[in-house]
Amino acid sequence: MLTPAKPSSSISKVRVIIRVRPFLPHETASRNGNSTPCVSVLDSELDSTQEVTVHLKDPETSRNECYKLDSFFGQEDNNLSKIFHREVSPLIPGIFTGCNATVFAYGATCSGKTYTMQGTDEIPGLIPLAMSTVLSLCHSTGSTAEISYYEVYMDRCYDLMEVKPQEIAVMEDKDGEIHLKGLSKVPVNSMPEFHEVFSCGNQRRKVAHTGLNDVSSRSHGVLAITVSSPCGDGSGLIATGKLNLIDLAGNEDNRRTCNEGIRLQESAKINQSLFALSNVIYALNNNRPRVPYRESKLTRILQDSLGGTSRALMVACLNPGEYQESVHTVSLAARSRHISNFVSSAQKHETPKFKVDMEAKLRAWLESKGKTKSSAQKMGAFGSPLIIKTPSAMSSTKKPKAYSSAKQKSSTFQSASTVKERSSVLPRRNLFTNVASVDPSTEKDMNLHKVKDCSAISKDGGSRKFSIAQSDGNIQPHTYNALEATIEETATEYSKVSTDMIVLETRTCTPDKLPDKAENMEIISSNFDESSPICEKIKALQSSLRRVLSPINSNINVENKSSRDQICLALLDPKTPKTPFLLSCPGDKSQKIGTHLDKLNALGSNLKSSLVQEYVDLLNQASREELMELKGIGQKMAEYILELRETSPLKSLHDLEKIGLSSKQVHNIFNRTARGLFG
């Protein structure tokens, strides 16, 4: 029987849940029998269908982090039917009324994504469970089901139902509907039929890109179940709905793998598309006016099944023994889910300041004061979209000792009496990460610590963090949003040229711990030509940030730090010295700038970058007639460009591929224009 959709405490349009797989036998052996997972939730939250706080703890360094997510399924929930009945089954009835839904398994390699989606013969995964539910509903309602199975590999789409996987063109019609031209659809009436078709597709997916001995998926596998149902009103109309069940490729941290050659390219594409997916989910959950569907093939294909009336579920899969990897996965998942609500200045005066690792103490304290479990559960971690309800009667004399003593030492904490009723305190946007292990009472300069801490993580984990650190304060929402949009855009650009894992985070810190001068904040880019678009963007970002910050920094009132408002931003990166030119032999500076030929080559490359940038600007600004004067652009193309840039301005020539041009065509258009300059 289908369970009705459960009301959730969260207002996410895309639910984001965690699933932790059990340790595998060889993992338990190599951990000398230690089977404590690096991730957990409080026992009281284990069976919660409400928001949960996920705790990650590194047994080796005792680092820890907390994130708010929609639900948690631990190692003991090995039976996938629990996840199915609670999270997936409620999405199915909508498919029979013409709505779409999407379920993704997201996570690092070997975190259990494929297992979660497919299961085994004994323990069916989410895909067979969903298929069998759809089929039984079809039988009882007179509906029919068809399946398609395709993969997105290196930003290209291939039909897995064909004996030799065919590339599928992704087309968008004038109503914005996406069509996968020529994609096979196979009618399915029974589970044996389904298994036969699905396992052939799986075999093709495995062989196509991994080789038979390599178990890691290098592509995103999408099983689409399309249901056609007669409308119950006797009109003879048919409602068509679609359920996408997606086994995403595993994200990878390339500085911890030995990837090279094609593997490195694959990995870059995988990380880039996962980041684009997270941006889409974030935009949807935050009611952003623009949802960046066009940033990857996968999100473009899923446009009709993410947002609008569609419902979606992200299952973030974790390997219980991999702390760093889990932090990457959960932080990206939490960021996707994150609901932004900027606090107005008036509200900010009394915004409670908690440090994330105080949450458990505060919750315990509330409970000891006789608060009900449910009110205690509403207690948000620092990164919580919903900050807290505590009784206004709570007096400072009743403060817990640890709390008040912490307050004396650091303004990170505020007395419990300043905690406001939930109705009057809106959440601030923050994902407070990487500093949870810091003891503020011993930390002289919290901000420095944060920077150090994040840099260290960058080195350990090989991730690039793009962070916004913000104190509560008077930064206008539009200024904040503009900065945030710029940094997101920068991170997206970065993801296009880098194979690093990208972590984008918004953090909150206390005003007195922010750098006094904007100049103290380092925005470091490495491995890029100074003239590259990413460097240009970073420079522009840095200077606009300084402009925003300078009046604030000049008005510092040391005595009144708690009401001072600041925002600071840092691209936290391993510190690589900048070099004047990055030529073909990185690491050997003496050769890089030695000869006139090198300089000429460097100039040539600068010229090319600025020419490309000029060209992109022109494409974004020119009229239809002007566009048609460009070599290689006809009327149809000009119209496509006008349409495309309305929703998403072109950022690079590569963006032209989003309107269906192949990279060769894009190259040719630009070459013709460049040749025209000299011709």
Ligand X SMILES: Nc1ncnc2c1ncn2[C@@H]1O[C@H](COP(=O)(O)OP(=O)(O)OP(=O)(O)O)[C@@H](O)[C@H]1O
Instruction: Give the binding site for ligand X (CB under 6 A).
Output: 21-22, 24, 78, 107, 109-115, 215-217, 250, 317
User: How many C-beta atoms lie closer than 10 Å to residue 487's C-beta?
Assistant: 23
Give the residue with the Cβ less far from ligand X, 79 or 555: 79
DSSP per position, 498-561: --SEEEEEEEE--GGGS-SSGGGS-B---SS-TTSHHHHHHHHHHHHHHHHHHHHHHT--GGGG
Helix (H) or strand (E) holding 26: helix 25-30
Give the residue with the Cβ less far from ligand X, 26 or 444: 26
Torsion angle of the four alpha carbons 200, 203, 205, 208, in this order, in degrees rounded to the nearest 10: -120
Distance in Å, CB of 73 to ligand X, minimum: 10
Give the residue with the Cβ less far from ligand X, 328 or 513: 328
Distance in Å, CB of 532 to ligand X, minimum: 31
Query: Which residue's beta carbon is nearest to the bound ligand X?
Result: 250
- Kindly state the greatest CA–CA separation across the chain: 83
Burial status of residue 46 (CB atoms within 10 A of its CB: 0-12, 13-18, 19 or more) = middle
Which of 83, 157, 101 lies closest to 317 in space, CA to CA? 83
Distance in Å, CB of 452 to ligand X, minimum: 32
Instruction: Tell me how far apart the alpha carbons of residues 171 and 645 are, in angstroms, rounded to a whole number.
Output: 17
Give the residue with the Cβ less far from ligand X, 94 or 124: 124
Measured in degrees and rounded to the nearest 5, phi and psi for residue 104 equal -115, 145
Give the residue with the Cβ less far from ligand X, 110 or 137: 110
Distance in Å, CB of 165 to ligand X, minimum: 18
Give the residue with the Cβ less far from ligand X, 250 or 473: 250
Torsion angle of the four alpha carbons 664, 669, 671, 675, in this order, in degrees rounded to the nearest 10: 160
Distance of CA 16 to the CA centre of its chain: 11
Distance in Å, CB of 83 to ligand X, minimum: 10
Give the residue with the Cβ less far from ligand X, 39 or 567: 39
With beta carbons less than 8 A apart as the criterion, state whether 493 and 540 touch. Answer: no
What's the token pair of residue 251?
């994200």
Give the residue with the Cβ less far from ligand X, 114 or 506: 114
Burial status of residue 21 (CB atoms within 10 A of its CB: 0-12, 13-18, 19 or more) = buried
Distance of CA 636 to the CA centre of its chain: 34
Distance in Å, CB of 88 to ligand X, minimum: 16
Distance in Å, CB of 100 to ligand X, minimum: 24
Torsion angle of the four alpha carbons 261, 266, 269, 273, in this order, in degrees rounded to the nearest 10: -160
With beta carbons less than 8 A apart as the criterion, state whether 219 and 208 touch. Answer: yes
Give the residue with the Cβ less far from ligand X, 62 or 213: 213
With beta carbons less than 8 A apart as the criterion, state whether 75 and 116 touch. Answer: no
Distance in Å, CB of 101 to ligand X, minimum: 21
Distance in Å, CB of 159 to ligand X, minimum: 20
Distance in Å, CB of 116 to ligand X, minimum: 7
Distance in Å, CB of 554 to ligand X, minimum: 50
Residue with tokens 């193309």: 637
Instruction: Tell me how far apart the alpha carbons of residues 9 and 465 are, in angstroms, rounded to a whole number.
Output: 29
Distance in Å, CB of 271 to ligand X, minimum: 13
Give the residue with the Cβ less far from ligand X, 250 or 515: 250
Give the residue with the Cβ less far from ligand X, 105 or 514: 105
> Residue 348: what residue type?
K
Give the residue with the Cβ less far from ligand X, 21 or 355: 21
DSSP per position, 265-323: HHHHHHHHHHHHHHHHHHHHHTT-S---GGGSHHHHHGGGGSSTT-EEEEEEEE-TT-H
Instruction: Tell me how far apart the alpha carbons of residues 358 and 234 are, in angstroms, rounded to a whole number.
Output: 59
